[in-house]
Amino acid sequence: MIRISIQTATSLPPRLMLACLLAWILASTALSAGTLQPTGTDSPDLDFNLADLKDATHTLSEYRGKVVAVNFWASWCPPCIREMPSMQRLQNKLTDEAFVMLPVNVGEKKNKVWKFVKLINFNVPTLLDPNSETFNAWDVSVLPTSFLLDKQGHIRYRVQGDLEWDSGEVVAVIEELINEVQENKP
């Protein structure tokens, strides 16, 4: 987990940012692993209106009827980068299910994010929060932070730190949420 203000991180000189990044990679490998934490049923209904890398606009409410994973990340965050391959594998595994992964890049310019996702061959549609407005509205202070929402758009789980998204435990929780609403349909 990284606790740092987005403005502080993006205003560091490039060499200092690189040095911090390398130090963090060496120090954080085992320290940042997160686990899904239930949030209960009283979670606030949050929405957003964010553009993706192709300038298409996405609102969270348009995904009602699907289980949604919202993941806040940045390209300078080693734990964020570590979890991205498992996010890609999960999205590929659940392509035909009522599930969508929505990674939200925080505080970076579109061109930088585009170059980064191309560099690592990350093919999950990536949303942009260049001014950190959604990041702040969702009361996030740690990168990466993720939320797992049920089909009605309620936050059911939260995780701070990187997660192995395609692990059996996480997939089971997501599948349970996918099936939960289907059982209640008339």
Average pLDDT, the chain: 86
Please state, in angstroms and rounded to a whole number, the distance separating the CA atoms of residues 129 and 94: 25
Question: Which one-letter DSSP state was computed for residue 130?
Answer: T
Q: Is the pLDDT of residue 184 over 70?
A: no
pLDDT at residue 32 above 60? no
pLDDT at 41: 58
Mean pLDDT to the nearest integer, 61-90: 97
pLDDT digits (tens, 9 = 90+) for 136-150: 999 999 999 999 999
Is the model's pLDDT at 25 over the cut of 70? no
CATH 3.30.70.100 assigned to domain 2-184? The reply is: no
Identify the residue whose tokens are 């130090």.
Answer: 23
Around Cβ 131, how many Cβ atoms within 10 Å? 11
Based on its alpha-carbon atoms, the radius of gyration of the chain, rounded to whole angstroms, reads: 16
Band of residue 36 on the pLDDT scale cut at 50, 70, 90: confident
Does the global pTM surpass 0.85?
Answer: no
Quote the pLDDT of residue 37.
87
- pLDDT band with cut points at 50, 70 and 90 for residue 38: confident
Tokens of 118: 């191309």
Cα–Cα dist 62/65, whole Å: 9
Residue 183, by phi and psi: left (phi above 0), alpha (psi -120 to 50) or beta? alpha
Under DSSP, is residue 154 helix (H, G, I), strand (E, B) or coil? coil
Longest dimension (CA), the chain: 59
